[in-house]
Chain A
């Protein structure tokens, strides 16, 4: 059997039991590789459970800087007997299976085509520790130590990480380093180290990685920082995976940055609401009253918030909502990722409603788009929904550093001050389109003793905010809201379009976390002679660039992580380009981040078999879907 050989390019997966402290050991493993200057992307694949269920951690190491999932496992570290059968089966031919050899391996688990590395983790722990909790926790550190020998991780980097991790609890440093050494020593005395798949420092990495002083960060923390930088003072939320860490991080940074040094009082307020309805209600109330406020939730929360989203749209109250998407429908797979809230978010609430959506693809973009979202919300006086997902929100991504321009000034939109009102000769009309862009002027409560008060309502009203059931007035208002949506097209983030070096009539569209594996898939296909232009959508409503991309290509693959091709449908619905036959859905929705291999395979399959597949069949599928 040929053992796999590769340097700085592999996928390793850890099979753990949740609630046993494996997460911090695993993240130390990934961070050590990151600190060695080798591109790495770790992913938690975890259950909706606190203790005792199988949980996995998949780490992609890629010298070429591919940060999406590749597909396939080269090395499996098995610390969980519950899932061992499927874990063995998952290893690619020639790969490695590292297991606890305290008990002999069941013969039914022995494959001829993979390499077995047995390390008696339990035995070592029984020998070294008397306390049951310590035996459990240090087992994780010991396997990281063993991997440092097997994969050639710089041991001093690991030692530094331990020191960083236990800053303030110095007593724990020595025992953790000792545990690392136990593993390292066992592996280096029993096996030829490093093994065929391993790491080496100093190799050239891809330019898009090399050009930056990268950070390792999760998207939820980045979004929370964005809210801090945007000047958000009110956050209201209801706990829900995978969005909870957004407000947790906002709280953490506010405690550092927003406590008045003189009085010790907070320049912010965070409320854990009784449900998501209330959370969004609070956000709307605060924004109506001139504070920047936001909430973070996931699909089930957006369902509940739909009523209030309609109110904010119709009453024109700025609102920022971060939707960290997970697998639906209903409770679905709450700890698995998906991009399946696109249509719901775009049209949330009854009646004719449409919302502005932003699609970040990296932590840096979670930060910058959240900053931008508050400006957009106030400029457009409407909800802005940031469409993140579990993969981006909860996993650590290698990312260019966060950037903030100190010359940037908040744009609070069209708000009249007391002085503005004093200077006004005409009557103030809250819903009067003075500038012709569909965006009207508002006032904050309490601005002026005699002018500028108005009645905010979810009912139909005239230009002066007075209730009306006059059909013509209603239509005028609805059409103005549509005009405002047109205005939005010119100020929301434009798509990123990349043209292939070879002229091609084929294009690919994707958004959010699908981008990383999609770019990789495009490179795989390019090597096979399949050239594709790409467009990464970053916002809705679509601007003219999106329309043009559709017009310029004969066939466009729309890659997304949902069953129904929601972005494709949105493009069909919301662009005027004749697209129905052009847009080919490329879908993955098993709850795990889509892999580059899978995308490449689906597109390859379509292109190579596409010529013989009658187009009518594709049309028939579309009819069914419509």
Chain B
């Protein structure tokens, strides 16, 4: 099958503050299955970056291996991208971020890439509070190898062949909250209204931001008994509507029900959240864990911004690295020269 991406765009297509149209944030044509949740997430990333007025070349996209990890090719073609090895994106992202702290790092992974082969690296990138947005496109199965069970698949649910999964699932959002993540959101690829502002908030967050996005696999895990199917998630999704209001912009969102909570991000922008429950404190880890398990027990999936720690030290703060990116240091700054070597030699005699 040959795809040709149409180059035509409406002459009056909106442009952002950089004078760029949404088209400038697009990527190559997706080769994923028609209806794949991942494509909706790519579209949401495009919207978020367009609306946040981010320069595409100031973004670095990183991924591991799998269907999800192919998607960086489908958005932000003006950004450098690194499709690394299976489950190892966090380490590559860490090194890249150490080299240049001024870029925006968006990591795309899947449930196989993160919860199985990459669980170790995932846990440690969370611990280090690396300043990046980490999106897990979670469909409960291995798509690219044709539908094997993944570690996020719920206990007691069948796969496409009808085999029941008897292993207990890893809830990446809860795990991240437990081990110190400073921003954890959950969403659904089908809920663009919630996903786009969540991505914006995650990008604006200074530190590690996890978005665990349920993203149905239409080919292998979209059957009626799957808890990662469109049908199930639409029914079970208990979404906390999210607004992201950039700095200097008037708050105009219009939700009228539920308890509202506003979180001011370090850059001055505001995340406004409409909670289902007044007692839920999204700045308290325990409260966040209780809320997610409470909904889970009722057969629901709580989505939205689950937990945030506004003021935290990201990896560069902890290490005390220079404000200027390390990759911009000059030979003059870095090389001590022969005179110092003479003193080293003298000390070794």
Distance in angstroms between the alpha carbons of A233 and B95 in the assembled complex: 11
With the chains together, A275 CA to B123 CA distance in Å? 12
Q: Is the CB of A266 within 8 A of B322?
A: yes
A279 / chain B contacts, CB cutoff of 8 Å: 91
Question: B96 near A285 (CB under 8 angstroms)?
Answer: yes
Chain A residues whose C-beta falls within 8 Å of the C-beta of B100 in the assembled complex: 289-291, 444-446
- Assess whether B337 is in contact with A404, with CB atoms less than 8 Å apart: yes
Q: Residues of B contacting A444 with CB < 8 Å? A: 80, 100, 327
| Inter-chain contact A288/B331, CB cutoff 8 Å | no
State A612–B319 Cα separation when bound (angstroms): 67
Interface class of chain B by DSSP: helix
Whether a CB of chain A sits under 8 angstroms from the CB of B40 is no
Q: Residue A267 at the B interface, CB < 8 A?
A: yes
* B338 adjacent to chain A (CB < 8 Å): yes
Decide yes or no whether B110 CB sits under 8 A from chain A.
Answer: no
CA distance A285 to B147 in the complex (A): 31
Across-interface contacts of B341 in A (CB, < 8 A)? 225, 229, 401-404
Q: Tell me whether B121 is interfacial, beta carbon within 8 Å.
A: yes
Is B275 close to A, CB under 8 A?
A: no
**Is B322 touching A267 in the complex (CB atoms < 8 A)?**
yes
Q: Does B85 sit at the interface, judged by CB under 8 A?
A: yes
Interface bits A264-301 vs B (CB < 8 Å: 1, else 0)? 11111111011101111111111111110100000000
Asked if residues B80 and A281 are in contact (CB atoms below 8 Å), the reply is no
Which A317-346 residues sit within 8 Å CB-CB of chain B? none
Number of interface residues of B (CB under 8 A): 59
Asked whether any CB of chain A lies closer than 8 Å to the CB of B216, the reply is no
With contacts defined as CB atoms under 8 Å apart, how many contacts are there between chain A and chain B in the complex?
A: 223
Is A215's CB within 8 Å of the partner chain B? yes
Q: Are A448 and B57 in contact (CB under 8 A)?
A: yes
Of the listed stretches A78-86, A452-460, A509-517, A585-593, name the one at the interface; the rest are far from the partner chain: A452-460
Q: Closest A-chain residue to B28, C-beta based?
A: A466
CB pair B124–A406 under 8 Å, yes or no, is no
Asked whether A278 lies within 8 Å of B124 as measured between CB atoms, the reply is yes
B323 adjacent to A265 (CB under 8 Å): yes
Bound form: Cα–Cα A57–B101 in Å: 46
From A412, which residue of chain B is reached at the shortest CB distance? B331
Binds B, one of A60-68, A255-263, A546-554: A255-263
B 217-251 binary contact with A (CB < 8 Å = 1; else 0): 00000000000000000000000000000000000
Indicate whether A129 reaches chain B with its CB closer than 8 angstroms: no
A560 to B326, CA, bound (A): 40
Determine whether the beta carbon of B120 is less than 8 Å from that of A274: yes
Q: Which residue of B lies closest to A466 (CB)?
A: B28
Residues facing B in A228-254 (CB within 8 A) are 228-231, 233-234, 236
- For the complex, give the distance between the alpha carbons of A415 and B345 in Å: 35
Asked if A289 meets B338 with Cβ closer than 8 Å, knowing A215-B345, A455-B72, A456-B80, the reply is no
Determine if A56 is an interface residue (Cβ-Cβ < 8 Å).
no
Q: CA separation between A265 and B92, bound complex, in Å?
A: 23
A contact residues around B79 at 8 Å (CB) = 445, 453
**Contact flags A403-419 to B (C-beta < 8 A → 1, else 0):** 11110011000000000
Closest residue of chain A to B83 (Cβ to Cβ) is A457
Q: Is the CB of B82 within 8 A of A288?
A: yes
Let me know if A265 and B88 touch, CB within 8 A.
no
With both chains docked as a complex, state the minimum distance between the C-beta of A34 and any C-beta of chain B, in angstroms: 8
Please tell me if the beta carbons of A289 and B96 are within 8 angstroms of each other in the complex: yes
- Say if the beta carbon of B321 comes within 8 Å of chain A: yes
A residues less than 8 Å from B322 (CB atoms): 260, 263, 265-267
Q: Nearest-CB distance from B130 to chain A (Å)?
A: 10
- Is B321 a contact of A288 with CB atoms below 8 Å? no
Known: A233-B99, A445-B60, A456-B83. A216 touches B91 (CB 8 A): no
A-B contact pairs, 22 of them (CB 8 A): A34-B349, A35-B349, A228-B335, A233-B99, A234-B95, A257-B336, A267-B321, A269-B98, A274-B123, A277-B91, A284-B95, A285-B91, A286-B95, A290-B327, A405-B338, A445-B57, A449-B55, A450-B57, A453-B79, A454-B80, A457-B82, A457-B83
A-B pairs with lowest CB-CB distance, top 8: A285-B95, A281-B91, A291-B99, A445-B80, A282-B95, A289-B99, A286-B95, A215-B348
Which chain B residues have a beta carbon within 8 Å of chain A's beta carbons?
28, 55-58, 60, 62, 72-73, 77-85, 88, 90-100, 102-103, 120-121, 123-124, 128, 316, 319-323, 326-327, 329, 331, 333-338, 340-341, 344-345, 348-349
